A and B are shown apart, each in its own frame.
Chain A
């Protein structure tokens, strides 16, 4: 019997019914490769948002490696999703700082376990090559209230961080002048934090996805078409940008929403290994 839920259904050959033929992803060698999303996303990060992506690092990617990031020249505003260091080494972290001229600089960080050795790669030396799905949701605080970050891995909550110091008022003043990068951080115009990884299906919404929606798009490990509402996922209208990375050649990362096409830089290349 043929199901008609979220996901794609492969028939004979390369024909797909009811969904998503996820043909390609992008690999980064960790030296000088990244995707420039060609937008700061300042407006989006001044409000509640969610970010989803699929990643495959093979082995632990190292510390202070940026999956997504931008920092302004004064280091007063930044957003990044990165591999932590020090006492948090081996974990994925979310860093968010929003400037408030009348207040000390603010930061909220949520750390989660992310090491291949302790997660899907257990038992094979961390070389399983597993694809992991992560979703970060960030709910803006109201006025002087602080925001709440929740990180999901493979459809389930890994960690949440309520509080920090980014108030709703602070977040209203989030200021970014540099484009967001994938595969590294745009540190006021200079690339750093390059990470060796495979990356696929990056989406940004201007809304906080519900846990049920996140479980739906996790789809037991098969990427789905986020442009289509299905089941508990009803946020296609909240998409700001969505990079399916199915071009499979060239240096353009098309934004399926039409918001801001990205550019593959430094030799970042399309591959056919996908979640």
Chain B
């Protein structure tokens, strides 16, 4: 049911560039970080927000694989 969603992993330093009106997360304080707090991710439906241009998009199934890695557990 999440086929229309895209996920993008960003670095912690890039969080300040996120326009939370363009992603499904609501604020920086609600983001999920990896274990060393160096990376997080945002998700959206539809076109990729411009502030994420050039970033790798993951599908739902792909992001689940990424998040299952030890660095996120």
Chain A residues in the interface with B (C-beta under 8 A): 27, 29-32, 191, 194, 196, 251, 265-267, 271
Contact = CB atoms under 8 A, between A and B. Distances in A.
A266 B67 CA distance: 15
8 nearest CB pairs, A to B: A267-B24, A32-B32, A265-B30, A29-B2, A266-B25, A266-B30, A191-B32, A31-B67
17 contacts: A29-B2, A29-B43, A29-B60, A31-B7, A31-B41, A31-B63, A31-B67, A32-B30, A32-B32, A265-B26, A266-B24, A266-B25, A266-B26, A266-B30, A266-B32, A267-B43, A271-B1
Given A191-B32, A251-B26, 10 more contacts: A29-B2, A29-B5, A29-B43, A32-B30, A32-B41, A196-B64, A265-B26, A266-B32, A267-B43, A271-B1
A38 B34 CA distance: 24
Contacts, number: 33
A191 B40 CA distance: 13
Contacts of A267: 24-25, 43
Interface residues of B, number: 16
Interface string B19-33: 000001110001110
Contacts of A271: 1
A31 B43 contact: yes
A64 B5 CA distance: 25
Contacts of B25: 32, 266-267
A196 B5 CA distance: 14
Interface of B: 1-2, 5, 7, 24-26, 30-32, 41, 43, 60, 63-64, 67
Nearest to A36: B30
Interface secondary structure of B, over-half rule? mixed
B3 to A, nearest CB: 11
A271 B64 CA distance: 21
B60 A32 contact: no
Contacts of A251: 26
Contacts of B2: 29
Contacts of B5: 29
Name the residue among B25, B30, B31 with the largest chain A CB count within 10 angstroms. Answer: B30
Given A27-B1, A267-B43, A32 B26 contact: no
A266 B26 CA distance: 7
A191 B43 CA distance: 17
B64 A32 contact: no
Contacts of A30: 64
A251 B20 CA distance: 14
Name the residue among B1, B25, B67 with the largest chain A CB count within 10 angstroms. Answer: B1
Name the residue among B5, B26, B32, B43 with the largest chain A CB count within 10 angstroms. Answer: B32
A137 B26 CA distance: 34
Contacts of B1: 27, 271
A30 B60 CA distance: 10
Nearest to B68: A62
